[in-house]
Chains A and B, each alone.
Chain A
Amino acid sequence: VSTTEKSTSERSTVHSTFVIERTYAAIPERVFAAWSDQAAKAQWFGPGEKHAESYSLDFREGGREHLSVPTPDGAVYSFDAVYADIVPAQRIVHTYDMHRDDARISVSVATIEFEAVGDTTRLTLTEQGVFLDGLDTPAEREHGTNAMLDALGTHLQGSVPD
């Protein structure tokens, strides 16, 4: 499909969905507020104060969120989201992409649902994403290739005819 400068062998898409559940000892309105207020969300969403980073949140439908985090190897990972659907204290749907420097790693839809259970909140996060081009660092690619070769070696050993 793609006719860009990369060869087909370097273009790949892998789709994945995962679900994470947590229960918090707070009512949904309070848990939701930790997602909707920039100052509150900055306290738990980013990697922590020890990392230099930039963070902004415009929490409304159509609004954007940005987080960028430099890593020790000099690369910068960035998260850019657009809020698609917001139902206060009940649901947040946002799409986001991740980049490593200028290279796009993934595009995802993340749905966060808040459900009152007694005095607590059950939070369910569902992420559906496409991971692009097996994008990675050269070291990881080497590791992946070595692991592949090891697996191939094992497979060949195992398939030696009797």
Chain B
Amino acid sequence: VRTCSIELAALRTAEAWVAERRTAWERRLDRLGDFLAEQTNKPDQESTQ
């Protein structure tokens, strides 16, 4: 019973890590969208010279 319980705790923690990792990527990809939108709104500095 004890071994089973410890493994269950480790599993729950790993599940939390996976959820956190996914959330971290989602935040990054949202910021990538913001970054691309800012680039689009700003005139391209090199080509406007």
* Contacts from A to B (Cβ < 8 Å): 9-10, 12, 14, 16, 18, 20, 22, 24-26, 30-31, 34, 40, 43-45, 105-106, 108, 123, 125, 127, 129, 131, 133-136, 140-141, 144-145, 147-148, 151-152
Partner of B15, one of A14, A26, A44: A14
CA distance A36 to B47 in the complex (A): 20
Give the distance in Å from the alpha carbon of A106 to the alpha carbon of B28 in the complex. 19
Verify B36–A25 contact, CB threshold 8 A: yes
**A127 contacts B21, CB within 8 Å?**
yes
Residues of A within 8 A of B6 (CB): 9-10
Known contacts being A12-B14, A26-B40, A34-B35, is A148 close to B5, with CB within 8 Å? yes
Number of cross-chain contacts by CB at 8 Å: 97
**3 residue pairs, one from A and one from B, having the closest CB atoms:** A134-B10, A14-B14, A134-B13
**Residues in B neighbouring A26, C-beta threshold 8 A:** 36, 39-40
Evaluate contact between B14 and A134: CB separation under 8 angstroms: yes
| B28 and A144 form a contact (CB under 8 A) | no
Q: Are A44 and B35 in contact (CB under 8 A)?
A: yes
Q: Are B32 and A34 in contact (CB under 8 A)?
A: yes
* B17 touching A131, Cβ below 8 Å: yes
| B46 interfacial by beta-carbon distance below 8 Å | no
User: Known contacts A12-B11, A134-B10: does B31 contact A44 (CB below 8 Å)?
Assistant: yes
| Docked CA distance A73–B11 (Å) | 24
Q: Check B10 against A44 for contact (C-beta < 8 Å).
A: no
| Interface bits B1-41 vs A (CB < 8 Å: 1, else 0) | 00101111111111111100110011011111111110110
